[in-house]
Homo-oligomer: A and B are copies of this chain.
């Protein structure tokens, strides 16, 4: 969140974000870094075959348990017939692309605001390649996950192409989901009995 001085002092909102709220959040975290600690959560229940459902509502952040959500979000994972399902929902690797698209976009828009750049339009197209032999355990040299993910971003804004390229590189480096994909993040799984 550098370049805050570039934010027009009389702008209450920029790119749909409350500028003063952003400035206040950053000041609070600078004064007490424990406010930056967040824990996000999901609960998932298997239905049958490739269908399962997640419930998402509570999280911890900014020093307290959040209670802002009146309803629980529910999402359905499914699989297409070629992957033994009935298209009950998008599948998990597709939801990962949705998460990645959203995170890069929000990070881009947030840091655009910090730089005083107004975004007019922004859309992305994502493609992720993988080899099913990894999932199936047919070849241990084939990674089960995405080999790579390609994002094409189309953005229109009131700045130069160079400004957009700089901002995009910054957003790529600072997006939490992009960083979780690019960096090896430990996943600890334990079996519990309830």
Contacts and interface: CB of A to CB of B under 8 A. Distances in A.
A21 B151 CA distance: 33
A87 B98 CA distance: 17
Interface in A111-151: 111, 119, 121-138, 142-151
Contacts of A124: 43-44
B176 A56 contact: no
Task: Place the interface of chain A in its size category.
Answer: 35 or more
A194 B123 CA distance: 10
A66 interface: yes
A105 to B, nearest CB: 5
A182 B187 contact: yes
A82 interface: yes
B46 A122 contact: yes
A11 to B, nearest CB: 14
Interface string A1-21: 110000000000001111001
Interface of A: 1-2, 15-18, 21-22, 25-26, 29-30, 33, 35-52, 54, 56, 59, 61-62, 66, 68-69, 73, 75, 77, 79-84, 87, 89-107, 109-111, 119, 121-138, 142-155, 164-165, 168, 170, 172-194
